[in-house]
Amino acid sequence: MGNGTVATFQLFGLTFSVANLVSGAIVFLLAVIFVFATTRHITMRPSKGQNVIEWLMDFTNGVLKGNLPANEVRGYGLWGFTLFIFIFLSNQLGLFFNLMINGKAIVRSPTSDPVVTMTLSMMTVIFANYSSIRRWGTKGYLTSFVKPLWFFFPINIFEELSSFLTLGLRIFGIIYSGEVLLEMIWQLAESHGIFTMALSLPIEMIWQGFSAFLGAIQAYVFIMLSSVYVGRKLQEE
Amino acid sequence: MLLHLAVARTLYNGDTIFYAVSFILLMWIVKVLAWKPVTKMMQDRSDKISDDIDNAEKSRKDAAAMAEERKAALAGSRVEAQTIVKDAKENGQQQREQIVTQAQTDAQSLKDKAQKDIAQEREDALASARNDVADLSVEIASKLLQRELKADDQKALIDSYIEGLGEQHES
């Protein structure tokens, strides 16, 4: 099972999980290969690969444009684009490539692990707060927590926390449940020989397709909410 | 050991750092490989398109101006052609009239001259014939005088002579 046991090891007093390191490295490599392959021959008249990456850039820029102040969009394009391809590939990886050795997961969707999704949402929160400091200065940033009135301070703090949690847990829940269900369909297929194999094959395919769709949607939702979050930090209250 | 695994499973904090670092690294790679060149190309393209649109607008205006100019030139040349044809016609007419008049004048003068010449000629011819007649008559008279003159003959001769003189005088 993809999220059953995970092999871990200790290094520099930190704990690492093998599955996340391998999967993360694969996602990283896939992302690099994607951007490398699609940008070999950049021309005025875009060819196949260039069309794909330009469409993606336009897409993520469009998402950011809707949520950030118009003059700030330029500076956040790269962040939105990288976040999107990283999360998209993370969501899809486990659907098509799930590897276990001795019952321990080696390759799976990194986003089916809460540690990874919380890392991503934490990065968004930190990035949003950093953007706020850069935009308003330290004083402006600190006073934004007591707006509109001083007793809103706990509510504002709680809002940060809830953003952090919802952003990370939403994507984790959906990707994790997707993989769990795939796993269960596989168990069904294995249970009674050829008959259940034949029965569960179309179910598996349908669910895989649906999960691929969900994975894409979740990647979109993640950058959408992240940009909303950053945008709110950048806007005048 | 089991407890250690359980604790480790709940929070492998190293992964957080791994993912944070790899994300930032990925962002940098994407920036160098794709973001900068593609964004630049997209900007160039949008600049080019906007330039092209401006140029197209300009060319359209130029073409319209040129067409207008050509139209005016065409109208001008038509008027000019008409003038030329009209002038040519007038010239032709004038020339024809001139030629005809000239021809008439020439013919008239030739005719006059010819008439004059003919009259002169006749005059000359008459004069010379008269001289000849006079000479001849003198000769005849002298010949006749040399013959023997009879009274009647002489008389007839003198009469005829006198008659002849009268006629000569009259004419």
Give the closest-approach CA distance of B56 to chain A in angstroms. Answer: 19
Whether the CB-CB separation of A186 and A204 falls below 8 Å is answered with yes
**Window A:67-106, CB contacts with B under 8 Å:** 77-79, 81-83, 85-86
Q: Give the per-residue pLDDT at B3.
A: 39
- CB A165: neighbour CB atoms within 10 A? 13
B42, B46, B51, B55: CA torsion to nearest 10: 120
Residue A13 has pLDDT above 70, yes or no: no
Across the interface, whether the CB atoms of B29 and A5 are under 8 A apart is answered no
How high is the pLDDT of residue B85?
Answer: 94
Give contacts of A116 with chain B, Cβ < 8 Å: 15, 19
pLDDT at A172 over 60: yes
Proportion of chain B above pLDDT 70, given as a percent: 87
Per-residue pLDDT tens for B34-93?
788 888 888 888 898 999 999 999 999 999 999 999 999 999 999 999 999 999 999 999
In the beta sheet, which residues pair with residue A105?
Answer: A100
Q: Is the pLDDT of residue A43 over 80?
A: no
Mean pLDDT (whole number) for A101-130: 80
Collapse the DSSP code of A6 into the 3-class scheme (helix H, G, I; strand E, B; otherwise coil) and give the result: coil
Using a CB–CB cutoff of 8 Å, tell me whether B37 touches chain A.
Answer: yes
Q: Which residue in A has a C-alpha nearest to residue B15's C-alpha?
A: A16
Measured between CA atoms, the residue of chain A closest to residue B36 is A78
List the domain boundaries for chain A. 8-234
Residues of B in contact with A222 (CB under 8 A): none
Angstrom distance (rounded) from CA B46 to CA A170: 38
In angstroms, the separation between the Cα of residue A202 and the nearest Cα of chain B is 34
* Residues B136-153 pLDDT 10s: 888 888 777 776 666 677
Tell me which of A75 and B120 has the higher pLDDT. Answer: B120
3-state secondary structure chain B: CHHHHHHHHHCCHHHHHHHHHHHHHHHHHHHHHHHHHHHHHHHHHHHHHHHHHHHHHHHHHHHHHHHHHHHHHHHHHHHHHHHHHHHHHHHHHHHHHHHHHHHHHHHHHHHHHHHHHHHHHHHHHHHHHHHHHHHHHHHHHHHHHHCCCCHHHHHHHHHHHHHHHHHHHHC
Collapsed DSSP state (helix, strand, coil) of residue A14: strand
Output B171 or A129, whichever has higher pLDDT: A129
Residue A107 token pair: 């390759």
What residue spans define the domains of chain B? 2-166
More confident residue, B153 or A29: A29
- Find the angle CA(B151)-CA(B156)-CA(B160) to the nearest 5 degrees: 150
What confidence score (pLDDT) does residue B62 get?
A: 94
* A119 vs B62, more confident: B62
Answer yes or no: are the C-beta atoms of A62 and A37 closer than 8 Å: no
The CA–CA distances, whole Å, from B106 to B112, B115, B118 equal 10, 14, 18
Instruction: Tell me which range, A10-14, A150-154, A186-190, A216-220, is most confidently predicted by mean pLDDT.
Output: A216-220
Most confident of the ranges A21-25, A182-186, B123-127? B123-127
- A105 pLDDT more than 80: no
Give the span between the Cα atoms of A172 and A160, in whole angstroms: 19
**% of chain A beyond a pLDDT of 70:** 90
Who contacts A49 (Cβ-Cβ below 8 Å, separation ≥6)?
A37, A38, A39, A40, A41
Reported as a pLDDT band with limits 50, 70 and 90, residue A100 is low
Partner residues linked to B46 by β-bridges: none
A5, β-bridge pairs: A104
CA-closest candidate to residue B30, choices A111, A33, A52, A227:
A33
| Interface residue A123 vs chain B (CB under 8 A) | yes
The Cα A80–Cα A191 span in angstroms is 44
Instruction: Identify the sign of the CA torsion A203, A204, A206, A211.
Output: positive
Q: Which residues of chain A have a CB within 8 Å of the CB of B45?
A: 44
Enumerate residues 6+ apart whose C-beta is below 8 A from A81: A56, A57, A60, A61, B30, B35
Residues B98-140 pLDDT 10s: 999 999 999 999 999 999 999 999 999 999 988 888 888 888 8
How far CA B42 is from CA of A5, A46, A198, B122, in Å, comes to 47, 10, 49, 114
Confidence of residue B1 (pLDDT cuts 50, 70, 90): very low
Mean pLDDT of A98-112: 72
What is the SS3 assignment for A7? coil
**Contact in structure between B43 and A57 (CB atoms under 8 Å):** no
The distance of A58 to chain B (nearest Cα, Å) reads 10
Say what the ipTM of the complex is. 0.77
Q: Are the Cβ atoms of B44 and A6 closer than 8 angstroms?
A: no
